[in-house]
A and B are shown apart, each in its own frame.
Chain A
Amino acid sequence: MFFSYFSTYGPDQDRHPVRATSFALPLAACFATLALSSFSSSVPADDQASFDYDAFILSNEQLQNRQMQQLIKNNQDFQHGVILACGQTISSSAAAQPLNQWGHLKELQILWKQSAQQWQKIQMFPLGPNTDTTVRLNITFWPDKKNLVERKVEGLIKQGGDVDLSLGGIAVQGLAASEYLLYDPRHLQHATVQQTCPALQAISEKSLANSQALLTRWQESEFLEHWHDAGLGNDTFASITQATGYLLAGLAQSAEIVAKDKVYKPFRLNTDQARSNVYLSENWRSGLNLDNIQQNITDIEHLYLGADGHNGPHRLLLKKGFTAEAEAIQQQLSTLKEQASQLQQMQQQAFAQTEGRALAKRFYQNLKQLEQALKKPLPSFNLAQKFNSRDGD
């Protein structure tokens, strides 16, 4: 039955898959997965120039859906952990102890890390309603060049037991705020469990709500509807080919953001004389900064090669004859993965040592080259200009 929707092929091989209004439905997900498997198996493994248009669309939908559901699950675990830990402590003598002596601290840090790492897996997908700056800052407030998180979270703590997050604004909505409470060395030393728990509970609850909103927004969006029906052509995507082009362009933008915010600024690559400033890096308190970068490169590669492992922009480029361009991108990704791994192995010393800065500089240059390589074939995709609609005022 499912195949019947794919029985006719359009002139450019763009086809129209069945409309699925919500991929949160397990049945729909299974159904689509089965269909995908069927399609994937029909593609010869050695046929590098084949591209399954429908599998490309569906696999990206499903991947994003899965990642958001997993973030919700991680945030649920984190919130439950916080409630349990605070509940067990708040009426005991341990409540007056500094946080760094709290017996539950390690387990909460582990739960927090799972959420933070899962958020990284969503960050690199560059399309749809969740790319909005405010949406992303609701999940975690970063970049934070003036340490607004600390000021706002300390303000929350001063509110005492009855925390009103709205007074702290966007900086206290998500993972960066809870990271401060669970990792900031000065806070761990000077604040007690009793002082910290009300804010931590409120933030973990808000983080969960924000991640649920992420999925709802995605499922309710016109973007998803248009992405799903890209094969028919609509106001957002003229075809699946064009949708693939938008993904390619978006991945270039993702690479640019990683290069600028996660590498160039914290390593202060604007001048050779400067020293790195680790405090500008993402998740510096928890030490996830370099892990994040490594994950980001992995995810850019994953989306480029195909959310299902096969049908990504890479194959479409090969199919369209952009062999040199596709191979250049792949080569650049391979180099970046290796360098990201080296940076990650250096851990926080990468920020302190000359060798680390030099590696970061090479990594940055390669990221910029990746950005250019991803952009090179774009003129052939006829992407629409989006000046005011993308960044108006």
Chain B
Amino acid sequence: MPNMPVNMSRRQLIQSGLIGCAGLSLFSPAVLANTPASSATHGLQLASSVKTDAAGHQMLYLTNGTDYSKDAKLLPSGWRGHQVAASPDGRYLVSVARRPGTQLLVQDRQLGKHNLIDATTDRHFYGHGLFSADSQYLYCSENDYENAQGMIGVYRVDEGFKRIGEWSSQGVGPHQIAWVYAKQAAGQPPAPLLVVANGGIETHPDYPRIKLNLDTMQPNISYLDLSGQLIQQVTPPHHQLSLRHLDVAPDGQVWVGAQYQGEVHESPKLIYSHKLGEDKLTAVGADDTLWPQLKAYIASVACHDQTDTVCITAPRDNQITLWQRSSGKLIKQMSQTDCAGVCAHPTQPYYLVSGGDGTLAAYHAGTGHRLWQQTLNGVHWDNHLSWIG
């Protein structure tokens, strides 16, 4: 199994793809607040799966553009992608097909070429992938659908993304994955672990997008070491809380958003945090009426390194929620139509949020105040937004 180099920053290990800061932002929030949107977007380094009215499903990315509406690059996929994973060395972008899709769209930014990678026999993707910190391996959540088991596929980057192995995800319906960093004995470098959100829902490509086991589903969060061994597993308080999307804060706290599969009006809490070693998930401290209001559905989760906050989108209620990580308290709810993708700027205190109506907006990471927004007509941003600098 691949080794994780240890000479990377902690944050790189925690979550590759949101680091590097190669694209220096030319603006601060204070500047943004008074800056016309066209210049405020300078320096954005973003990628997302999108659908365009003109050309269907594509991967969109922007690197150091001065105007994203003009400088965005589009690559057709032919299928609906979900998350775009970026290699920490900046060379690769990978759009991962959402379930039950069976392809990866790989863009080699160094060579300016792209190609498609097929899933192996009897597997399909779940829309999420993650590079190792040394950019040598790509990990993807996958479905062994004939056996209803979640898998983590391991791909060797310098061998043309050859699939070299797989691990059990320790659950059904694995979705988003991220790095966490386990403390070791004194003098030992921290050990990277893969944290997996196993949604618990059984699906089969013969019945695309049909949830086959809602009565018996058993979602969990699993921590795997680099040999694929299970280190810890925690389950949500209700068996129908499908844990899908997560992010990891700089202190190693995992923040996870759920989609409740029971009745919307009975929805339990949807946002939890967990630290390796704790015996259960900790729910945020919001009023119980919030969750049915959010239609029992969380789309994306992003932690901000520079602030004590986590930003979480709920597109079915057109709501963005901003939480204080240390207290679990709701700071602010913001409205944005069909909002789903969210990512934190790696150095500046704001989040970027994308919506299915083409809107891209920036919100202050501490207050939730909207700093600017633009709309790309004819573009529907999909579920996730990645910072690729």
Contacts and interface: CB of A to CB of B under 8 A. Distances in A.
B318 A133 contact: no
B215 A148 contact: no
Interface string B210-243: 1111111000000000000000000000000000
Interface string A144-181: 11101000000000000000011101110000000000
Contact of B265 (A145, A217, A235): A217
Contact of B338 (A144, A145, A146, A388): A388
A385 B213 contact: no
A170 B338 contact: no
A146 B212 CA distance: 14
Interface in B101-136: 127
17 contacts: A133-B210, A144-B207, A145-B206, A165-B215, A169-B214, A170-B210, A171-B212, A384-B357, A387-B340, A387-B357, A387-B380, A388-B299, A389-B316, A389-B340, A392-B299, A392-B383, A393-B82
Nearest to A137: B210
B356 A389 contact: yes
Count class of interface residues, chain B: 35 or more
Nearest to A165: B215
A385 B212 contact: no
A213 interface: yes
Determine chain B's interface SS by DSSP, over half rule. Answer: loop
B233 to A, nearest CB: 22
Which 6 pairs between the two chains have the least Cβ-Cβ distance?
A387-B356, A166-B215, A388-B340, A389-B315, A220-B265, A387-B380
Contact of B264 (A129, A133, A166): A129
B345 interface: no
A217 B264 CA distance: 8
Which of A220, A388, A392 is packed against the most chain B CB atoms within 10 Å?
A388
Interface string A166-204: 110111000000000000000000000000000000000
A170 B82 contact: no
A392 B315 contact: yes
A134 interface: yes
Contacts of A213: 263
B51 interface: yes
Interface in B309-335: 315-318
Contacts of B318: 235, 389
B99 interface: yes
A386 interface: yes
Contacts of A133: 209-210
Given A133-B210, A144-B207, A389-B318, 18 more contacts: A134-B211, A146-B207, A148-B206, A165-B215, A169-B215, A170-B210, A216-B263, A217-B265, A220-B264, A220-B265, A384-B338, A388-B299, A388-B338, A388-B383, A389-B316, A389-B338, A392-B316, A393-B98
Interface string B347-389: 0000000011110000000000000000000001111000000
Contacts of A392: 297, 299, 315-316, 340, 383
Contacts of A148: 206-207
B306 interface: no
A355 B337 CA distance: 49
A134 B297 CA distance: 15
A222 B293 CA distance: 8
Contacts, number: 95
B305 interface: no
A345 B265 CA distance: 44
A137 B292 CA distance: 22
Contacts of B293: 222
Contact of B382 (A134, A167, A387): A387
Interface in A100-152: 129, 133-134, 137, 144-146, 148
A169 B381 CA distance: 33
A221 interface: yes
Contacts of B295: 222, 389
B202 interface: yes
A170 B214 contact: yes
Question: Is chain A's interface secondary structure helix, strand, loop, or mixed overall?
Answer: helix
B261 interface: yes
A222 B291 CA distance: 12
A222 B319 CA distance: 15
Contacts of A387: 51, 338, 340, 356-357, 380-382
A283 B276 CA distance: 50
Interface in A220-249: 220-222, 235
B357 A169 contact: no
A222 B215 CA distance: 25
A388 B355 contact: yes
Nearest to A206: B215
Q: Which interface residue of B212, B316, B383 has the most chain A CB atoms within 10 A?
A: B212
A166 B315 CA distance: 30
Contacts of B214: 134, 169-170
Interface in B39-63: 51
Contact of A134 (B51, B210, B317, B356): B210
Contacts of A166: 215-216
B263 A217 contact: yes
A391 to B, nearest CB: 8
B98 A221 contact: no
Interface string A36-48: 0000000000000
A327 to B, nearest CB: 29
Interface in B285-303: 292-293, 295, 297, 299
A393 B261 contact: no
A393 B80 CA distance: 11
A170 B383 contact: no
Nearest to B339: A388
B123 to A, nearest CB: 17
A192 to B, nearest CB: 27
Contacts of A169: 202, 212-216
B264 A221 contact: yes
A129 B296 CA distance: 12
B265 A386 contact: no
Nearest to B209: A133
A164 B325 CA distance: 42
Nearest to B318: A235
B375 to A, nearest CB: 10
A388 B356 contact: yes
Nearest to A216: B263
A384 B202 CA distance: 32
Nearest to A148: B207
Nearest to B207: A148
A202 to B, nearest CB: 12
